[in-house]
Amino acid sequence: MDADQIREGFSQRWNRLRGCSISRVLYYELEYEGSQPGWALAGPLFDTVDFGVEVQLTSSVSLNVMWGWELVQYGLAIGDGPPDFRPAALYARHDVSTQSRWRQLLGREIEATRLLWRVSDLEPERGSYLQTAELAVAGGRHAYMSAAE
């Protein structure tokens, strides 16, 4: 699959969220020792995860937004269903549906989706990669999943 086909696949998957509602959100990160998961340590303005986010919809469909390397190193990738990690024992899965900022988005219709693309400063010859995935729900709330390294 070439880069344009990969970009189109990401766009098609993300745009399928329109008209749906979020029922559950899971974060995937390294299995940390201690009492507090890593995602909660970033402070009050945002959450941070090692690997990605799974968005489950009320229709029982889910998508994942993970670190991806299909286009450039440290970009985002959008896949169908839950992520498939091997070996699974190294990763922690946290249901953050009611703990993080996602609580305010649950059950609301997704009215708009948007993907923001960027040309890598380190690998400009590879073209644009997925920097940020945004969704907007009824009531004016937004969620942004962004690659930041």
In whole angstroms, what is the distance from residue 30 CA to residue 37 CA? 9
**Which candidate, 140, 20, 2, 17, places its Cα nearest to that of 70?**
2
Residue type, 122: L
The pLDDT value recorded for residue 14 is 97
Strand pairing partners for 30?
91
pLDDT digits (tens, 9 = 90+) for 62-71: 999 998 888 9
pLDDT digits (tens, 9 = 90+) for 132-146: 999 999 999 999 999
* 127 touches 3 (CB < 8 A): yes
The pLDDT value recorded for residue 44 is 79
pLDDT digits (tens, 9 = 90+) for 71-122: 988 899 999 999 887 766 678 889 999 887 899 999 999 999 999 999 988 8
State the burial class of residue 17 (Cβ atoms within 10 Å of its Cβ: 0-12, 13-18, 19+).
buried
* 96 touches 106 (CB < 8 A): no
pLDDT digits (tens, 9 = 90+) for 26-67: 999 887 776 677 787 777 788 888 889 999 999 999 999 998
Residue type, 26: L
Please state the φ and ψ torsions of residue 20, each to the nearest 5 degrees. Answer: -95, 175
